Amino acid sequence: MFMDYLFILLGMVLLYFGGEFLVKNAVTLARGWGVSTMVVGLTVVAFGTSSPELAASLAAALQGSPELAVGNVIGSNIFNVLGILGLTAIIAVIKVQSQFIVREVPILLGVTLLGIFLLRDGYLGRLEGLFFVVLLGAYIWFLYFASKKDTVLESEMTEAYEDGKTTWRTYLGLVLGLVFLGVGARILVLGAVGIARGFGVSELVIGLTVVALGTSLPEIAASVIAALKKEPDIALGNVIGSNVFNILCILGITAAVSPISVSWESVQRDVWVMLGVTVLLVPFLLTGRRLSRLEGTVFVALYVAYVALVLTG
The DSSP string of 181-207 is HHHHHHHHHHHHHHHHHHHT--HHHHI
Distance CA 289, CA 94 (A): 8
CB 118 within 8 A of CB 124: yes
- Whether 246 contacts 77, CB under 8 Å: yes
Range picked from 14-28, 146-160, 279-293, 295-309 for highest mean pLDDT: 295-309
Q: Identity (one letter) of the amino acid at 165?
A: K
Beta pairing partners, 95: 290
CA 194, CA 15: separation in Å to the nearest integer? 19
CA 10 to CA 228: how far, in whole Å? 27
Q: Poorest-confidence range of 42-46, 65-69, 150-154? A: 150-154
67 contacts 266 by C-beta, under 8 angstroms? yes
The single-letter code of the amino acid at 181 is: L
Q: How confident is the model at residue 151 (pLDDT cuts 50, 70, 90)?
A: very low
How confident is the model over 193-227, as pLDDT tens digits? Answer: 788 778 887 777 877 777 777 777 777 777 777 67
Cα 130 to chain center, whole Å?
19
In this prediction, residue 306 carries a pLDDT of 92
Model-level pTM?
0.77
